[in-house]
């Protein structure tokens, strides 16, 4: 693979090939590029530059007589190139979409599940890719209220409501003799002492109390505190995924086996959370293309993700997952805009 000098003309030709292939998934020829983009050089010159780009690993030629298609390296160059430009939303259609989304999310502010479902569905509808949202991790949110309900024998249902309006139910082990009145007193204790504190802070404080009670108090109180701590432990966030229907109609997934693989992958919650765990709180937006994906299951996809926040605190991620042949300019603008709308909605 040889190096290539990227003068402005070479950059424009590479971007033209990428954009043409995004628009229509067919090998792109030099004559087509010359006519469509109005280059003031002959098609032979463009063909030579495309040949150099192929030697440098940016393009491949599926057949000797065919045009060329972009590689992951070409998509990466293209994304970096367009991100250097000012991506301004000047489309009336996108502006209207964002206005409508803002109004809808404001109305759903007290129902986080409906809010994120609306956000992912709208994002998918606008792009025809998969829209995803990772809800705020329970540990990062503050406790609004907890209730304990005796279920049967030694089992208790803990109902935890956080300050985002997200309700979590969990069955925990207690001891057979515990009564509903005792559970109500325990819930009152938690709500009185810990309302407004993050789940992490509460668990840490309970851990300190448990250690103290082991020394000074009896086993029953230690067991109650442990039960309380267990009720506030949730292993992972929730993930919303919308838009499998939309990607079914993309030529990139016309193969039924590919589509089946996509459906299987997006049903794996652990895998999706692992995919987004490296999105930094400092990243405004992150674009991961094909082979750049750390997980094998996503190497045929591109991912555009952005954290959304409450004031300056990162809460979760909103993202698009689609083919590498993605309309990056539109997708980046939309993910960025959706993240800003979510941030504003959660911060107001």
Structure tokens at 154: 């030694």
* Rounded Cα gap, residues 188 and 208, in angstroms: 20
Q: Residue 6 belongs to what H/E stretch?
A: none
CATH 3.30.450.40 domain range(s) in the chain: 92-137+237-347
* Rounded Cα gap, residues 125 and 136, in angstroms: 23
Calculate the dihedral angle through the C-alpha atoms of 15, 20, 26, 31, rounding to the nearest 10 degrees.
Answer: -90
* Rounded Cα gap, residues 136 and 131, in angstroms: 16
Which pLDDT value is given to residue 135? 81
Written as one string, the DSSP assignment of 48-114 is: HHHHHHHHTTSEE-SSTTS-BEE-HHHHHHHHHHHHHS------HHHHHHHHHHHHHHHHTTT-HHH
pTM over 0.75: yes
Which pLDDT value is given to residue 222? 60
Which pLDDT value is given to residue 139? 64
Which pLDDT value is given to residue 16? 96
Which pLDDT value is given to residue 228? 67
At residue 119, the 3 state secondary structure works out as helix
At residue 171, the 3 state secondary structure works out as strand
- The CATH code of domain 92-137+237-347 reads 3.30.450.40
For tokens 């030697």, the residue is 55
Q: What is the largest CA-CA distance in the chain?
A: 89
Calculate the dihedral angle through the C-alpha atoms of 207, 208, 212, 215, rounding to the nearest 10 degrees.
Answer: 60
* Rounded Cα gap, residues 282 and 279, in angstroms: 8
Sheet containing 143-152, strands listed edge to edge, beginning at the edge strand earlier in sequence: 143-152, 155-162, 167-173
Which pLDDT value is given to residue 190? 86
Q: Which of 223, 198, 196, 195 is nearest to 209 (CA)?
A: 223
Q: Which fold has domain 8-84?
A: Arc Repressor Mutant, subunit A (1.10.10)
| Contact assessment for residue 148 and residue 231, using Cβ atoms and an 8 Å cutoff | yes
Q: Which of 262, 258, 289, 276 is nearest to 316 (CA)?
A: 276
CATH 3.30.390.60 domain range(s) in the chain: 139-231
Which pLDDT value is given to residue 169? 81
Question: One digit per residue, pLDDT tens: the chain, 348 residues?
Answer: 667 778 899 999 999 999 999 999 999 999 999 999 888 889 899 999 999 999 999 999 988 777 899 999 999 999 999 888 766 666 788 889 999 999 999 998 878 888 999 999 999 999 999 999 988 766 667 888 889 999 888 888 888 888 777 777 888 888 788 889 988 988 898 899 889 888 778 878 877 776 765 554 455 556 666 666 666 665 556 788 999 888 888 888 877 887 788 888 888 887 888 888 767 555 678 999 999 988 888 888 999 999 998 777 778 899 999 999 999 999 999 999 999 999 999 887
| Contact assessment for residue 222 and residue 230, using Cβ atoms and an 8 Å cutoff | no
Q: Left (φ > 0), alpha (ψ -120 to 50) or beta: where does 166 sit?
A: beta
Q: Which CATH number fits domain 139-231: 3.30.2130.30, 3.30.390.60, 3.40.50.2300, 3.30.70.100?
A: 3.30.390.60
């Amino acid at each position: 693979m040889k190096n290539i000098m990227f003068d402005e003309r070479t950059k424009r030709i590479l971007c033209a090939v990428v954009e043409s292939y995004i628009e229509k998934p067919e090998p792109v020829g030099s004559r087509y590029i010359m006519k469509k983009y109005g280059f003031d050089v002959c098609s032979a010159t463009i063909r030579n530059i495309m040949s150099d780009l192929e030697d440098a690993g940016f393009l491949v030629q599926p057949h000797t007589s065919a045009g060329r298609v972009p590689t992951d390296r070409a998509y990466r160059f293209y994304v970096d190139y367009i991100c250097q430009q000012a991506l301004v939303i000047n489309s009336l259609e996108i502006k209207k979409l964002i206005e409508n989304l803002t109004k809808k999310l404001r109305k759903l502010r007290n129902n986080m599940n409906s809010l994120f479902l609306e956000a992912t569905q709208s994002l998918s509808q606008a792009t025809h890719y998969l829209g995803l949202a990772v809800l705020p991790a329970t540990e990062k949110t503050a406790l609004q209220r907890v209730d304990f309900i005796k279920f049967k024998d030694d089992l208790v249902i803990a109902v935890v409501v956080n300050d985002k309006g997200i309700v979590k139910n969990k069955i925990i082990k207690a001891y057979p003799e515990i009564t509903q009145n005792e559970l109500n007193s325990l819930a009152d204790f938690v709500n009185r002492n810990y309302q407004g504190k993050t789940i992490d802070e509460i668990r840490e404080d309970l851990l300190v109390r448990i250690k103290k009670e082991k020394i000074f108090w009896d086993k029953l109180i230690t067991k109650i505190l442990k039960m309380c701590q267990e009720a506030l432990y949730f292993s992972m966030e929730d993930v919303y995924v919308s838009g499998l229907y939309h990607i079914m109609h993309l030529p990139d997934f016309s193969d039924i086996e590919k589509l089946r693989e996509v459906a299987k992958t997006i049903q794996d919650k652990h895998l999706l959370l692992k995919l987004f765990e490296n999105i930094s709180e400092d990243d405004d937006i992150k674009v991961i293309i094909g082979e750049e994906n750390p997980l094998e299951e996503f190497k045929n996809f591109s991912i555009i993700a952005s954290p959304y926040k409450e004031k300056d605190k990162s809460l979760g991620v909103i993202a698009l997952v689609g083919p590498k042949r993605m309309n990056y300019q539109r997708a980046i603008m939309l993910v960025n805009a959706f993240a800003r709308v979510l941030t504003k909605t959660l911060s107001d």
